[in-house]
Amino acid sequence: MEQITKKAYAKINLVLDVTGRLPNGYHEVSMVMQNVGIHDTLTFTKREDEQIVLTTNDGQLPLGEDNLIYKAVLLLRELTGNKDGVTIHLEKRIPVAAGMAGGSTDAAATLLGVNELLGLGLQKEQLQEESVRIGADVPYCVLGKTAHAQGIGEKLTEVASPPQAYLVVAKPDINVSTPVVYRALDSLPSYPHPDVEGMIHALEQKDLNALCERLGNVLELVTAKEYPVIGQIEDILLKEGARAALMSGSGPSVFGIFDTKEQAQTACKALEKAALAKQLFVTTFENGEG
């Protein structure tokens, strides 16, 4: 096979708790990660030479070693010694720097896609293990199934996937710095912790009510305080019938959970009218391949 195409799905956090801090400055987390239907598409093509050539429809992204896709190919080269060239085209749809693991999911798709294209023979489990060297969210993206993530995000336990629902995802036009968000959280004397175990139980029960009651993200405390637009988007989502709304990751993306597609579409229109978001999506939980 000379060419392979893979979808790279975005994630949201159904719960995100920060449970400690390691001596190296990394934060220990406990979070439930869930793919959603918003995806990038990556096309991998064999080359005659040894070059790694990256192209994309997104004019802003770096195309060299700063791109996580490039880092993923370098990791495969290190693991196998194989230096066959590859051209990778990225069709970007996932909002960038949004708390939706856009770069990490592209890296995961590259590990899986190039492994397959070049017949490198690496097992998915090994790719998952090694991929933390690219970023803390990459192992989850390699797994591609609902998971409880601990450690810095790399210790994964599969959990039950959520029942069907419709989502509105809104990315406001602001840039949030993840290190600044974590520093602001560190400066708080204490904060309420979300019920991660309760969320896992709600998933096992396929109980959408309980799931919505347990949505929580400690980082929202600090990001939403700094950027009122996050609360404003959530207010509109709730007013339009969302069962619950929450910020994903360190933000600024916000999602709302709806029973029907019609409700989600109506809420999306209301947000469009309010002009609070730069990018808007109606989607669902994605429980298939990663």
Interacting residue ranges for ligand ATP, rule: CB under 6 A:
61-62, 66-69, 96-104, 106, 137, 178, 249-250
| Per-residue tokens: 244 | 């619950």
For residue 62, give the amino acid letter.
Answer: P
Q: Could you give the angle at the alpha carbon of 108 between the alpha carbons of 64 and 280, nearest 5°?
A: 85
Minimal distance, residue 239 CB to ligand ATP, in Å: 27
Whether 42 and 86 have beta carbons less than 8 Å apart is answered as: no
Helix ranges restricted to H, 58-189: 68-80, 102-117, 124-130, 138-143, 178-186
Residue tagged active-site, from 11, 71, 145, 171: 11
Residue with smallest beta-carbon separation from ligand ATP: 103
SS3 state at 179: helix
Residue 273 among the catalytic residues: no
| Per-residue tokens: 115 | 């492994």
Residue 11 among the catalytic residues: yes
Minimal distance, residue 63 CB to ligand ATP, in Å: 9
Q: Which is nearer to ligand ATP, 91 or 207 (CB)?
A: 91
Strand partners, 86: 46, 52
Q: Please report, for residues 24, 245, 274, the alpha-carbon distance to residue 215 in angstroms, rounded to integers and kept in the order given.
A: 29, 8, 25
Q: Which is nearer to ligand ATP, 98 or 282 (CB)?
A: 98
Minimal distance, residue 61 CB to ligand ATP, in Å: 6
Residue tagged active-site, from 17, 40, 106, 137: 137
Q: Which is nearer to ligand ATP, 223 or 263 (CB)?
A: 223
Minimal distance, residue 230 CB to ligand ATP, in Å: 14
Q: Which is nearer to ligand ATP, 250 or 263 (CB)?
A: 250
Count of other CB atoms within 10 angstroms of residue 238: 14
For residue 39, give the amino acid letter.
Answer: H
Which amino acids are annotated catalytic?
Answer: 11, 137
